Structure 1
Amino acid sequence: MKLIKKSAIALALSAVSFGAFAMTSIDDAALSQVSGQDGVSIAADLNINIGSFTYTDKGATAAENGSVSFNNIAVRGAFIMQIDVLAAAAFNTDAVGSLAVLLAPTSGATAVADATTLAIATSNALGRTVDATGLGPDAGDVVRFAFPKVTGAESLAHNASMSITVDSITTGNGGKSFGSVALKNFDLQGTKVWMFGH
């Protein structure tokens, strides 16, 4: 009898909680206001520890298996990232601007023209077909992940950037360590990543 009473109480509570968090529909006008808002910023202080990462090359029998292990992997440091959804025209401007900076040392005055050509060719190669203006049938919105540069405290930000260490690299069956590996100041500032479907 107690079980039935407890079940009835649990059912009543769950009904109340579902009602409290019921989803409501949003009309197009309200949704356009939501999607038109600014992007998302993420700040992270990393303290990641991985015991080991092992790659095994399987042979015909278990006795022929070989492996290599990366042991006591640590990722430390901080980063900031901004996520924005860009319309096609904004993406074209953003991508061309980034490529123009990269091409400027070799292209000189033609950097923007060369960057435009490269941006369109890259977009087409990735399955996002666009025309000479950067628009076209596949020129939908693009998600941008950007790691902005910290200004005013550049050296401090660089010192706080990510470091990745591997304490030892060993082979299986009692193999000795190859030594350790360290990547210091893995700095993503100024990096942009664009993502779109195709």
Structure 2
Amino acid sequence: GMPGSILFAGICAVVYFVVGIRFGNELMADDCTSIGEFSVLLLIVILSALLVNSYCKKASVVWYIGGIGVGGTLLALLFSFYVIPFDITWFQYGLCVVLLFYLIFLSMHERMRNYFYIALFAIGSVGFLFSADYVFNNVLEPHQQIRIKVVLGMEEDLAGAGYNVNQSKIAIGSGGLWGKGFLNGTQTKLKYVPEQDTDFIFCTVGEEEDPDAPGPLCNPAG
């Protein structure tokens, strides 16, 4: 099967992208700090500490990373809220740099590769956070950006990019608990739902049969 590290990295990438894009333009109470960027950077520090705990078994290092990283971030948050507002993410980037060099130092000092791999994870995570915004705004086509925004709830475009998804939801709701019977679905019969035999086959079966009917399609061997 797929190595756990690759699966973990993939899940992290999805979370970073969704949180970073969805809340990237929303500011915290200090009106300076991006909620999305702040959340992802804090998550990187927490995950790094958890990885050290799992792969290096060094409680002192875990407490050091967690205490300095999370504690320092919370202090910066309070300072920005109640003393002088500033962009906390710059403080967090500084913490990530300190974390990176600390892990590399431990890797060389204790001759443990796992510290180095965790350092690579941290720097890769920060790099991905930087690139996600650039890729979204400069690489993806406008219609792709709109689709992502609709899925993440950033925009409503029921007549455009969100039409297909909205109609599929209506179709599944139209079927109720027991469905309307084979070939009796109103939304699918009237062609409101596109690509009924491929992309949206689940809502077709859901409207005609019942909401649990698409389950076997996901696991034919079950």
TM superposition score normalised by structure 1? 0.21
Which has more helix, going by share of residues? 2
Higher RCO, 1 vs 2 (CA within 8 Å, ≥6 residues apart) = 1
TM, length-normalised to structure 2: 0.19
In our comparison, the structure showing a higher alpha carbon Rg is 1
